């Protein structure tokens, strides 16, 4: 097994004019939370038709570019994970840089108007393969899995989910489980209403979209307030590799996790 931290000089860069996202069909009776490039509810007639066709064009172009990049990345780093749609907002564009080898690599993502350097990229996907049991235990602990004990039950989310609310000196958190994942939505300002609102949004998305399969417990941690650094995370394990998606924006992190699932 190659040493953790050994990086090969692999640099991949892609700039795309649009943002590709999975299309979902919705009706007037249903509020969609799937990732649609265009919201046609707010427009009718020719304007809605025009915007929708532009969204389809953007989606097709970005999907094609991402497929090309994914194939090239796979040639350089076997098994590298890449999303099938952009984690950013519609038409924001996407830059991507990958560095590393098959056992330890990082993919950095940004919009076309942002810096994609490792220091500045707003979104990353990192794989680490521990080389000892102690290192594996440490990687698992860093996932941030939360048990549903020691809290106050009663936060009703969508789909009949009941979450636990925890309060400590650090934050107010809304926590629930989805399969093997724990999902924690927290407010450092102890704004319980804002934490519950973000939890409702996240739960509705997770209920309609698959998360990466994990062989142990996985964890999602989302924050109401914007903090410096990559405070929002999704972590899981596949075979002996531990994966962590991190970023500035909670929804972008969640979209990237769904995009690579």
DSSP string, 208-246: HSPPPP-SS-EEEEEESS--SS--EEEEEEETTEEEEEE
> Any bridge partners for residue 99, and if so which?
106
Backbone angles phi, psi at 57, to 5 degrees: -65, -45
Is the CB of residue 96 less than 8 Å from the CB of residue 20? Answer: no
Q: How far apart are CA 76 and CA 120, in angstroms?
A: 23
Tokens of 110: 């940004």
pLDDT digits (tens, 9 = 90+) for 102-155: 999 999 998 878 888 888 899 999 999 999 999 999 999 999 999 887 667 678
* Closest among 53, 23, 55, 29 to 41, alpha carbons compared: 29
What distance in Å separates the CA atoms of residue 148 and residue 217, rounded to the nearest whole number?
A: 13
The two beta strands, 218-223 and 181-187, are parallel
**Structure tokens belonging to residue 239:** 């075979």
Reference 227, options 181, 171, 163; nearest CA is: 171
Q: Which residue has the tokens 């235990």?
A: 137
Q: Return d(Cα 37, Cα 86) in angstroms, integer.
A: 10
How high is the pLDDT of residue 125?
96
Distance of CA 1 to the CA centre of its chain: 28
Is residue 204's pLDDT more than 80? Answer: yes
- Please give the model's pTM, rounded to 2 decimal places: 0.77
188 vs 72 pLDDT, higher one: 188
- C-alpha–C-alpha distance, residues 127 and 104, integer Å: 5
The two structure tokens encoding residue 261: 């699932």
* pLDDT tens column, 15-34: 333 433 333 333 333 223 33
Query: Domain segments of the chain: what residues?
Result: 1-129, 134-259
Q: Which two tokens stand for residue 29?
A: 């009776």
Predicted confidence (pLDDT) at residue 5 exceeds the cutoff of 90: no
Q: Which of 113, 14, 116, 23 is nearest to 65 (CA)?
A: 14
Is 129 within 8 Å of 4 (Cβ atoms)?
yes
């Amino acid at each position: 097994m190659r040493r953790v931290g050994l990086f090969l000089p692999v640099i991949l860069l892609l700039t795309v004019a649009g943002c590709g996202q999975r299309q979902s069909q919705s009706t007037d009776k249903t509020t969609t939370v799937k990732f649609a490039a265009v919201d046609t509810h707010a427009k009718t007639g020719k304007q809605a038709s025009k915007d929708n066709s532009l969204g389809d064009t953007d989606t097709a172009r970005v999907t094609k570019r991402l497929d090309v990049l994914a194939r090239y990345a796979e040639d350089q780093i076997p098994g590298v994970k890449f999303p099938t749609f952009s984690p950013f907002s519609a038409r924001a564009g996407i830059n991507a840089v990958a560095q590393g080898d098959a056992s330890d690599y990082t993919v950095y993502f940004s919009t076309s108007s942002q810096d994609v350097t490792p220091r500045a990229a707003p979104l990353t996907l990192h794989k680490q393969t521990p080389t000892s049991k102690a290192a594996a235990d440490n990687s698992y602990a860093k996932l941030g899995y939360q048990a549903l004990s020691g809290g106050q039950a009663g936060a009703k989310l969508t789909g009949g989910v009941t979450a636990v609310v925890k309060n400590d000196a650090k934050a107010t958190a809304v926590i629930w489980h989805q399969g093997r994942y724990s999902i924690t939505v927290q407010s450092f300002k102890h704004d319980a209403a804002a934490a519950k609102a973000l939890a409702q949004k996240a739960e509705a998305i997770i209920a309609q979209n698959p998360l990466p399969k994990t062989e142990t417990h996985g964890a999602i941690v989302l924050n109401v307030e914007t903090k410096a650094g990559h405070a929002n995370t999704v972590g899981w394990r596949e075979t002996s590799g531990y994966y962590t998606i991190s970023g500035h924006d909670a929804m972008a992190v969640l979209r990237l996790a769904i995009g690579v699932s």
